[in-house]
Amino acid sequence: MKLVIIKYNAGNIQSVLYALERIGVEAVVTDDAAEIRSADKVIFPGVGEASTAMDYLRERGLDTLIRGLRQPVLGICLGMQLMCSYSEENDTECLGIFEEKVKKFKPATDSERGSVAGGSGESAFKVPQIGWNTIYDLKTPLFTGVMENSYCYFVHGYYAALGRHTMATTDYVQPYSSALQKDNFYGVQFHPEKSAQTGETILKNFIAL
């Protein structure tokens, strides 16, 4: 099996590479079109800013290439957001694989934050969301063996709205898509490579698709 991680200007690719290594899978990191096309599975990671990443992909023709892939593709974090139709982050047209739109979490103002009663352990929402949150209403084989309300690790200031491609939901400020799927394209907002055993199960499921 040939697994390719798409190399571009957004991302902590090392973490994904090491996580795959821990589950016994070798991956090739490349931006070479022929290599990506010939892969059995493709991972599209990403940490960074949407418009810069999209510009980079367009300049190299990677946008058309990704849209045309027929093998299973897994977008992670910004990778998933770039597979959506549009992102509010610097008003960016994205790949349009999922019709869902990416919006900014509306942060609480200082006064709203101050007015929340203390003592309950409850904080007002901070942006970006950083930390462990639950995923529920799980669909697709990506979540085989993953229990409802399992914890995954999230770091993001923008979110994909709920839509018909939503395959997992998470609550932060409001419910949003923590996973999307359409045909051979899968996307997760959280970082499976940093989500302990749950993340490893999800990566193994993707490899087994």
Partner 1 sequence: MLTKRIIPCLDIKDGRTVKGVNFENIRDAGDPVELGALYAQQGADELVFLDITATNEKRKTLRELVNRIAHHINIPFTVGGGISSVDDVSLLLQNGADKISVNTSAFRRPELIGELAREFGSQCVVLAIDTRQEEDGEWYVYLNGGRVRTDIRCVDWAREGVDRGAGEILLTSMNNDGTKKGFALDITRRLAETLPVPVIASGGGGLPEHFAGILGVGRADAALAASIFHFKEITIPELKGYLQAQGVAVRL
Residues that bind partner 1 in the complex, under the rule CB under 8 A: 12, 14-15, 18-19, 21-22, 47-49, 107-108, 110, 113-114, 118-121, 123, 126-134, 151, 153-155, 171-172, 191, 193-197, 199-200
Is 77 known to be catalytic?
yes
Q: Which residues pair with 166 in a beta bridge?
A: 180
Selected catalytic residue, list 77, 84, 94, 152: 77
Cβ at position 178, least distance to partner 1 in Å: 12
Helix (H, G, I), strand (E, B) or coil at 51: helix
Instruction: Tell me if 67 sits within 8 A of 95, measured CB to CB.
Output: yes
Q: Which residues pair with 102 in a beta bridge?
A: 87, 160
Q: What letters, b where the CB count within 10 A reaches 16 and e where it falls short, cover 138-169? A: bebebbeebeeebbbbbebebbbeebebbbbb
Is 156 known to be catalytic?
no
Cβ at position 184, least distance to partner 1 in Å: 27
Is 84 known to be catalytic?
no
Q: Which is nearer to partner 1, 40 or 88 (CB)?
A: 88
Catalytic residues: 77, 191, 193
